[in-house]
Structure 1
């Protein structure tokens, strides 16, 4: 269990009334009235068996107050389990609450004989695992959503080696897709006046360009910078995802100037004069929500909010890493030829890519990056490229030495990419990409590809 998720769970369980949602306060009151219906277990009953018994009882409950009370008791019991017992309980959930075979078979046969709407509904009801209903009821406990997000985070670390956990992971992902639907998400601007508890989490969760403490964070929240995050009512003080934006003049080609400390007094003037918004970092915060998409909605909404606030902004673009480039080049070099020669020279130059010898590698490496981003092997597209191109962005420009930090050199030899969000073309580009894999790209990128021939 990570420090972040431990804090998340504890915060949800112990937050003062003012920090909890009205729904949690209401459900706590209901649960208090149902305490008499919580099953009791003797002192000799092991904690794991007690948790299993509470789960079985929760699924059987029909009363509102009794169900809320049992759910709260179960979630308390789970927090008190040892790591080994918690893993055993997860396996119990994954293997013990499948659809009833006879009922499912009967519903399937009825549908095959008569595919009427009524039989479709019966088949759907019969095929839903009781486990999903159990998870819904667990979610009704105060802090339940946070605890279930944490539960899935633990599952994701084990499911590859323990396939039996797969059904539980699939059910949680299915439910989270509904619970964290865009309609429930709240976009908030995060600035220096935001509560410190949330600001601290930005430092902890930043996954692209590490935040070097409070002074660094303050720079990223000045008047010529913006930060926005999506929040959910069930996790009011936990950002789900956040994006950092720099307001600049022209298309930024390197990230270090965006992160460097500059004159604070001129920040407001720079924001007023900016014509470009650069999205330079997007970080998902909750590992337990992996696979639940937020970023596409986030960028599009932030573009609209920025345009409304600062009408002079004309260009909306990212400055993005290319995290898969080095791995791809390693694979290409293993096949020999020109790529192998370039890779050998890159390894010899190392981090000194700003030398004359490193600069001699520039044309070949830029062409290779353009090839990687536009013609990737099936199923192996760069994850950042897939995200932005799938959102309707255009591959606009590849930047030499866009990130000279050690991480940037290690992942992509310092190359960074601008993905341009043209408000008039976003949906057209999105449709072309998702339907046929067409990568919208600029004439600059096309020129790199032609130079390859």
Structure 2
């Protein structure tokens, strides 16, 4: 980071020379390395006998153009040599500081203002003529001619206002690896933006620092990213994307490894492809898990057919499942009669009941370069359509009978719950109004604090002390191992039973009542409810892992996708910010739901 920050400041003169003054500099210096590359684009004949890095600007009898001037001179369509040359230049860059200079250089290749003004004048002229033709009593041919001229002027104006970099992106899609290169470029661009933001924040902390340059660079980087994101939203539109089910037999190891690497919701255990094999149960040599049949789907773009864009993991279950530990065959504290019956069924030779529910339990963006492009909603809808229209693909492996899938639901984390709870606890500590248990009366709040105190053996602890102990317990799963030897806190039945009521009330209040600009505060909940799903149920001890404990106190949520109500629910949420809630949660929250 220090190296990056120092290089940004030391390059001030280079930026000034590149974009304000005539191009000067000595070949081979840090300030002029990429200008030499631009000269190769402008004067390719001079570079025909020179290797990279050997160009001597003194040989040029003509003053080389600056990058932005060269591209603007190319008109509406960039020469193929310029499009390919820019990519050659990009692929030659390995240092972060040079990548930043390249991105800023491309970002500043905006529209040619002289050409914009010329088309603007033409547009005003033909607009006046078109208005006159519409008002006057003229023949159809004259009016149609005026309308045609007007539409051509509008299109020309729009084209002239298109930044040069967007033309480069547009023409790059026609290259064999164009979209793949653009995805790599945005990945590096986002990395550069992150580093520049950190350097800018550090510079602002130093009173003597002059951070105006960094602020300008950051603006240019973000401007380029906005344009690239806009192009990506066109390239990765739903009509171009293909759905494919990934299986152990038919999917390449490379693709499966990409899915493993991108899995953030329920990371794969060590073991590489073997862990994937166990999760999707795709090989005949793997014993069939007839309790939960797991499937894996992904969206692809034909131009990058070996790169999954976004993936989703689906489990076929009997009813709406309340534990991801059971789905993934992990140990779970949800024992007792239900779990004992569950285990007995697996050992019996008779087949388990046919599944009637598809549970979406993990959605992951496999490409960091597609940040900001919403593909998850499209993927869910495609998978629902595949399961409902092609039931013959989803059959019981023992009886070969199709599963009558009639319900669709998620089993989702609450990644912001513990952060919110910590923030509300901080308010409590400072004597400010808090919403730890939502909008409720003092009596209910006092009762829940008493339940927490009894659970942890709080004695004479104050409310804030109780909350700090509870937060520490969830963030460090080993905090209460002394209560149950050799086990984590969620294996202590007495402790979890005492914690359940107050924590479930807090989680329900967080999901339903906490809003930001009218939308749900929880990002996962906001996504699914925005799609029209119902906050069906919250589940205690649903994800008993270190990650599940520290993020959401091992609580997970079922967002049910009622296909008949998706449109209505989505519209109400968008227009009225109304959250569709299941009966269990309504009863838990009472009149506030």
CA distance in 2, matches of 1:238, 1:266: 41
**Which position in structure 2 is the counterpart of 1:441?**
581
1:343 to 467, 486, 494: 467
Count how many residue pairs are aligned between Structure 1 and Structure 2: 412
Aligned to 1:25: none
User: Map of 1:335-414 to 2, 5 A cutoff?
Assistant: 335-336=427-428, 339=436, 341=464, 343-347=467-471, 349-350=473-474, 351=477, 352-355=489-492, 356-379=494-517, 381-414=521-554
Q: Is the 8 A contact 2:528 2:559 kept in 1?
A: yes
**Alignment-derived partner of residue 15 in structure 1:** none
Whether the 8 Å contact between 1:220 and 1:244 is mirrored in structure 2 is no
* 1:323/1:382 contact within 8 Å kept: yes
CA RMSD of aligned residues (A): 3.5
- 1:375-395 residue CA offsets vs partner (Å, 9 max, x unmatched): 223247211111111111111
SS in 2 for 1:334: helix
Does 2:317 correspond to 1:248?
Answer: yes
Q: Is the 8 A contact 1:222 1:264 kept in 2?
A: no
Partner of 2:366: 285
Equivalence for 1:143: 177
Stretch moving more, 209-218 or 261-270? 261-270
CA contact (8 A) 1:58 1:71 kept: no
Deviation at 1:290, TM superposition (A): 0.6
Larger radius of gyration: 2
Distance change >3 Å, CA 210–CA 252, structure 1 → 2: same
Residue matched to 1:87: 100
**Deviation per CA, 1:360-418, whole angstroms, max 9, x where unpaired?**
23222212211211222324721111111111111101011111111111111111000
Alignment partner, residue 486 of structure 2:
none
Given the alignment of the two structures, is residue 99 of structure 1 paired with residue 168 of structure 2, yes or no? no
Structure 1 unaligned regions, length at least 5? 1-36
Aligned pairs (5 A) from 1:209-248? 209-212=266-269, 213-222=272-281, 224-248=293-317
Structure 1: how far apart are the matches of 2:118 and 2:501?
65
User: Could you tell me which of 165, 172, 175 is aligned with 2:221?
Assistant: 165
Q: 1:39 to 1:284 in 2, by over 3 A?
A: farther
Does the CA contact (< 8 Å) of 1:349 and 1:358 recur in 2? Answer: no
- 1:43 deviates by 3.7
Q: Which has the higher contact order (CA 8 A, sep 6+)?
A: 1
Rounded Cα–Cα distance in structure 2 between residues aligned with 1:367 and 1:177: 40
Whole-Å Cα distance in 1 between the matches of residues 51 and 277 of structure 2? 53
d(CA) in 1 for partners of 2:348, 2:98 = 57
- Classify 1:90/1:39 alpha carbon distance in 2 versus 1 (closer, same or farther; 3 Å): farther
Aligned in 2, Cα 1:69/1:316: closer, same or farther, shift over 3 Å?
same
Alpha-carbon distance between aligned partners in 2 of 1:299 and 1:151, rounded to the nearest angstrom: 28
Cα distance in 2, alignment partners of residues 39 and 269 from structure 1: 75
1:35-59 CA distance string (max 9 Å, x none): xx96663447579x9xx98998777
Find the aligned partners of 1:128 and 1:266 in 2 and give their Cα distance.
67
Once the two structures are superposed, residues 170-219 of structure 1 have per-residue CA deviations (whole angstroms, 9 ceiling, x without a partner) of 11001000000100001001001111121121211112111123232112
Q: TM-score, normalised by structure 1?
A: 0.81
Structure 2 CA distance for partners of 1:166 and 1:266, relative to 1, 3 Å: farther
1:103 CA displacement: 4.2
| CA pair 367-73 structure 1, distance change in 2 beyond 3 A | same
